């Protein structure tokens, strides 16, 4: 995806002698959410129309499509939240009320960059793993269900109670944590987070 300002926009401002425009984080979030929905729909269409690999059968195709469909629904929900939320940056807004999805009050700090969000999120994920007996992996859906019961903000203005699988993936990606297709002990094959990846993200030596 083309970022803003890109190369051509930078050349334009240089040639015209104008000042670079500052990107609005809320507008970027809307654009990123919309692009993510489009990409997931393309991947879902490709998965549905591509014949399954030999040996995987229809069940393998259905699992892949189901995981993509869940991601698409989560991304669509995030986009709907951004589109339906009242803008808290208008100059004429005087009332102080909750502004979703950021969850902050309508004041001068509402749309500023959030404070470091995920330091406590990693600890929260570690606690979930501990409560489950330190398994090799935890399904993304199960991890989200457990984290939703926590108070406070997980990151990017999202409260723990508002977490989705897509949002959790976005918060954990900068730490090198990404889901993998794992067959869990109960026989479910789900997109899951590995305990080793979590420990690495927390700076814990896994080879000691």
Q: What is the pLDDT of residue 57?
A: 66
Number of domains making up the chain? 1
Query: Residue 55 and residue 31: Cα distance in Å, rounded?
Result: 39
Asked if residue 201 is part of any domain, the answer here is yes
In a domain, 177, yes or no: yes
pLDDT at 102: 45
What is the domain range of residue 141?
114-208
The residues facing 192 across adjacent strands are 139, 180
Cis amide bond preceding 44, omega within 30: no
Identify whether 72 is part of a domain.
no
- 19, part of any domain: no
Model confidence, pTM = 0.50
| Contacting residues for 133 by C-beta, under 8 A, at least 6 apart | none
pLDDT means over runs of 10, the chain (208 residues): 63 72 74 87 86 70 78 82 62 39 44 49 93 93 93 83 89 90 87 93 77
């Amino acid at each position: 995806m083309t970022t803003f300002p890109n190369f051509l926009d930078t050349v334009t401002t240089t040639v015209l002698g104008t000042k670079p425009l500052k990107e609005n984080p809320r507008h970027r979030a809307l654009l990123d959410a919309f692009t993510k929905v489009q990409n997931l729909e393309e991947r879902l269409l490709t998965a549905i129309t591509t014949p399954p690999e030999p040996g995987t059968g229809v069940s393998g195709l259905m699992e892949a499509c189901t995981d993509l469909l869940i991601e698409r629904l989560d991304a669509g929900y995030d986009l709907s939240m951004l589109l339906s939320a009242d803008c808290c940056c208008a100059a004429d807004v005087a009332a102080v009320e909750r502004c979703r999805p950021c969850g902050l009050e309508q004041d001068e700090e509402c749309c500023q960059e959030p404070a470091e969000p995920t330091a406590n999120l990693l600890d929260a994920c570690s606690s979930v793993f501990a409560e489950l007996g330190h398994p090799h992996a935890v399904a993304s859906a199960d991890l989200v269900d457990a984290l939703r019961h926590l108070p406070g903000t997980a990151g990017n203005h999202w409260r723990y109670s508002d977490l989705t699988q897509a949002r959790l993936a976005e918060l954990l990606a900068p730490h090198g944590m990404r889901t993998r297709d794992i067959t869990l002990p109960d026989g479910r094959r789900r997109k899951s987070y590995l305990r080793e990846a979590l420990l690495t993200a927390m700076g814990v030596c896994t080879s000691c």
